[in-house]
Structure 1
Amino acid sequence: MEKELLLECQRNDRNAQRKVYEKMAGRLYTVCKRYLKNDEDIEEVLADTFYKIFTKLNQLQNHDIFEAWARKIAVNECLQKLRSMKALDISLEDDFVESTGSPTDSISFEKDILKLLNFLPEGCRAIFNLFAIEGYPHKEIATMLSISEGTSKSQLNFARKKLQELLVNHNI
């Protein structure tokens, strides 16, 4: 992201904020989509994310890491939404979450994987996203979700096994 554009955003320039929104909305929507299923929840979290980005931008010391910083805000907002929905009750006994449509409707492999993630229990999906996609270590995931490291590891293992089963069962 251009440093000058971010500086204009810090001065509450609405045009600059619109440009940042237009550049980042799609990317952050994709991040939110990995954690949340409901489009209304995603839009709400996205709005909260951009509000936080624009109100806290002056705290960002290094504009070179803006995209990673914005992504982290989006992830944290998603986790907060999941906690508020009580969806992060983590248990290996969770059944697959019902999803509409077939997970093989999509053309691209990445979209197929994202669709398959919707078949995982909420807490399990969140841990898989945090570890496998966002790159957080188990210790940090455990702190973020108020669980033990062992729970984080077992949920990741559970998610991997279920995703492998889904991949095999749906010939992806």
Structure 2
Amino acid sequence: MERELLLECQRNDRNAQRKVYEKMAGKLYSVCKRYLKNDEDIEEVLADSFYKIFTKISQLQNPDVFEGWAKKIAVNECLQKLRATKALHISLEENHVVSSDSTLENVSFEKDILSLLNFLPEGCRAIFNLFAIEGYPHKEIATMLSISEGTSKSQLNFARKKLQELLVNQNI
């Protein structure tokens, strides 16, 4: 993102904010779609994310990290939405077995995998996104979601197992 454009946003320049919105809306929409199923929820979280981005942009000290900073805001807004709707309930109904099968890691069909994420329970999907896509460690995920590291690891393994099953069933 251009430094001058971000400086204009810090000065509440509406035209600059519109340009930033136009450049970032698609990327942040994709981030939100990985966590939320409902289009209305996605649009609401996207609007909340941009509100927070533009009201907190003065706190951004290094414009070079703007995109990552904006994505982190969107992720946090998604998690907040999931918590508010109680959809982040982590179910431990099944016995989760750690598999050494790395089929999922070898799949290069990112778009297909992302579409299959919609079939995961909300909590598993959030943990999978945070770990496998966003790159957060289990300790940080546990803190963010107020769960144990073991639950985070267990849910990630459960998500991987379910995704592997879905991949096999979909012949992907």
TM-score (norm. length: structure 1) = 0.90
Q: Which amino acid aligns with 1:124?
A: C
Moved over 6 A (4+): none
The offset of 1:93, in angstroms, is 2.5
Aligned to 2:152: 152
Alignment match, 2:165: 165
RMSD across aligned positions (CA): 1.1
Q: Secondary structure of 1:118's match?
A: helix
8 Å contact from structure 1 (residues 9, 16) kept in 2 = yes
Asked if structure 2 preserves the Cα contact closer than 8 Å seen for 1:141 and 1:152, the reply is yes
SS of 2:123's partner is helix
- TM-score, normalised to structure 2, is 0.90
Contact 1:29–1:46, Cα closer than 8 Å, also in 2? yes
- Equivalence map 1:38-53=2 (5 Å): 38-53=38-53
Amino acid aligned to 2:62 = N
Query: Percent identity between the aligned chains?
Result: 90
Retained in 2: the 8 A contact 1:116–1:163? yes
Unaligned runs of 5+ in 1: 95-107
Q: How far apart are the structure 1 equivalents of 2:10 and 2:42?
A: 25
* Contact map agreement 1:92 1:158 (CA 8 A) in 2: no
Q: Which has the higher contact order (CA 8 A, sep 6+)?
A: 2
Deviations, residues 22-81 of structure 1 (Å, cap 9, x unaligned): 000000000000000000000000000000000000001111000000000000000000
Number of the residue aligned with 1:132: 132
1:31-110 to structure 2, matched below 5 A, reads 31-93=31-93, 109-110=109-110
C-alpha separation in 2, matches of 1:117 and 1:53 = 27
Query: Which amino acid in structure 1 is aligned with residue 12 of structure 2?
Result: N
- Counterpart residue identity of residue 163, structure 1: L
The alpha-carbon deviation at position 114 of structure 1 amounts to 1.4
1:22 is matched with 22
